[in-house]
């Protein structure tokens, strides 16, 4: 079985299927696993969690998993309340789920090609991606526009995938020599029209190097309006807005990252989608909503569905 996407949803599905004795291979186009649970390295050993900032745990299955992670130092609570982060970075929980799973990174799946009752995976130019025999099932956990392109190219569809909508997000990563954020390590502005919706002291998270590293997310309206601007220009403008909100010292490093599909605005409303007749399935935050926990539960649901169909 093949799983496309090594974010938390793909990792959850792979972990469950491997636990049930199934052979799975996970492919991701990125350099490493994690997807939007991401940590980027900057100069001087600096690191920034530039995607998901933290995760919550409310479902008993996810609570049990998070308790195991915190006991083993894979995750820790941050700022009290109900917030957890991966340690030493946000990818750690995904890497933990993928422990022992066959993982192939740097593989952008471009085409699904029918072969008998299975599927072969190819790059966009037709080059083969996984040399193994055809896969009996392919579980797609990439954001819905990428999933739709793969399904459409194979002449297939899954109901609801086309309706999923995401808000984009521009993220600013900044290292500076100024004082820490006053009062609290996080400033939030829930106004959808706010230029900066989230400002966080990245170094305040457990297991990070202490120091003045800030991760700030632009609001959805601003991000959408500036989606195709150059990253350097976006960084400059977001720094100017940041300076109006918090003290910023001499800048040692700054960069901006564009997340085209950041937060689900409209989800399928089902835990997962699976077509037993084709062996194609879809999971991820596009199914249940814009949270790490929802993406995990969706991946788990898809694995359970696949196992139930085979029983």
Ligand X SMILES: Cc1cc2nc3c(=O)[nH]c(=O)nc-3n(C[C@H](O)[C@H](O)[C@H](O)COP(=O)(O)OP(=O)(O)OC[C@H]3O[C@@H](n4cnc5c(N)ncnc54)[C@H](O)[C@@H]3O)c2cc1C
Which residues sit at the interface with ligand X, rule CB under 6 A?
4-10, 27-30, 35-37, 51-55, 108-109, 141-143, 146, 169, 171, 217, 259, 262-263, 284-285, 290-292, 295
Helices and strands in the chain: count of H runs, count of E runs? 8, 17
The Cα–Cα gap between 9 and 142 comes to 9
Q: Which is nearer to ligand X, 29 or 178 (CB)?
A: 29
Cα-to-chain-centroid distance, residue 184: 26
Q: Kind of pairing, strands 25-28 and 102-105?
A: parallel
> 111: which DSSP letter?
E
Minimum CB–partner distance for residue 108 and ligand X (Å): 5
Minimum CB–partner distance for residue 250 and ligand X (Å): 26
Q: Tokens for 156, please give them.
A: 């297939």
Is the four-CA dihedral 299, 151, 39, 188 of positive or negative sign?
negative
Minimum CB–partner distance for residue 218 and ligand X (Å): 9
Q: Tokens for 286, please give them.
A: 């596009």
Nearest to 271 by CA among 243, 227, 302: 302
Question: Are 107 and 129 in contact, with CB atoms under 8 Å apart?
Answer: yes
Q: Which is nearer to ligand X, 6 or 46 (CB)?
A: 6
- What is the maximum alpha-carbon separation in the chain? 63
> Residues 306-309: contacts with CB within 8 Å, 24+ apart?
306/1, 306/13, 306/17, 306/22, 306/137, 306/139, 306/274, 306/281, 307/16, 307/17, 307/20, 307/22, 309/274, 309/276
Q: Which is nearer to ligand X, 206 or 290 (CB)?
A: 290
Q: Which is nearer to ligand X, 108 or 229 (CB)?
A: 108
Minimum CB–partner distance for residue 311 and ligand X (Å): 25
Minimum CB–partner distance for residue 58 and ligand X (Å): 11
Q: Which is nearer to ligand X, 102 or 178 (CB)?
A: 102
Q: Which is nearer to ligand X, 146 or 278 (CB)?
A: 146
The Cα–Cα gap between 196 and 181 comes to 15
The Cα–Cα gap between 245 and 196 comes to 9
The Cα–Cα gap between 217 and 141 comes to 24
Minimum CB–partner distance for residue 19 and ligand X (Å): 18
Minimum CB–partner distance for residue 116 and ligand X (Å): 23
Minimum CB–partner distance for residue 153 and ligand X (Å): 10
The Cα–Cα gap between 250 and 35 comes to 31
Q: Which is nearer to ligand X, 114 or 249 (CB)?
A: 114
The Cα–Cα gap between 259 and 267 comes to 18
Q: Which is nearer to ligand X, 67 or 247 (CB)?
A: 67
């Amino acid at each position: 079985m093949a799983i496309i996407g090594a974010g938390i949803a793909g990792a959850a599905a792979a972990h469950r299927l491997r636990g049930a004795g199934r052979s799975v291979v996970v492919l991701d186009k990125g350099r490493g696993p994690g997807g939007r649970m991401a940590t980027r390295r900057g100069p001087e050993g600096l690191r920034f969690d530039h995607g998901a900032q933290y995760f919550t745990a409310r479902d008993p299955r996810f609570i049990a998993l998070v308790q195991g992670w915190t006991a083993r130092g894979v995750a820790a609570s941050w700022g009290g309340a109900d917030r957890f982060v991966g340690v030493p970075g946000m990818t750690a929980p995904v890497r933990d789920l993928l422990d022992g799973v066959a993982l192939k990174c740097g593989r952008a799946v471009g085409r699904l090609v029918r072969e008998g009752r299975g599927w072969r995976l190819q790059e966009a130019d037709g080059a083969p991606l996984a040399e193994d025999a055809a896969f009996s099932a392919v579980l797609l956990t990439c954001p819905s526009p990428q999933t739709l392109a793969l399904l459409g190219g194979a002449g297939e569809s899954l109901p609801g995938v086309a309706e999923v909508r995401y808000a984009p997000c521009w993220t600013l990563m900044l290292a500076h020599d100024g004082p820490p954020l006053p009062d609290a390590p996080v400033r939030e502005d829930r106004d959808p029209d706010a230029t900066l919706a989230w400002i966080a002291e990245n170094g305040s998270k457990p297991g990070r190097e202490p120091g003045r590293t800030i991760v700030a997310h632009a609001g959805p309206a601003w991000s959408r309006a500036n989606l195709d601007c150059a990253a350097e220009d976006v960084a400059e403008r977001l720094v100017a807005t940041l300076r109006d909100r918090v003290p910023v010292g001499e800048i040692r490093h700054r960069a901006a990252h564009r997340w085209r599909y950041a937060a689900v605005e409209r989800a399928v409303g089902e835990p997962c989608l699976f077509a037993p007749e084709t062996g194609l399935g879809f999971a991820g935050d596009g199914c249940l909503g814009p949270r790490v926990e929802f993406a995990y539960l969706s991946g788990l649901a898809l694995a359970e569905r696949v196992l139930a169909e085979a029983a």
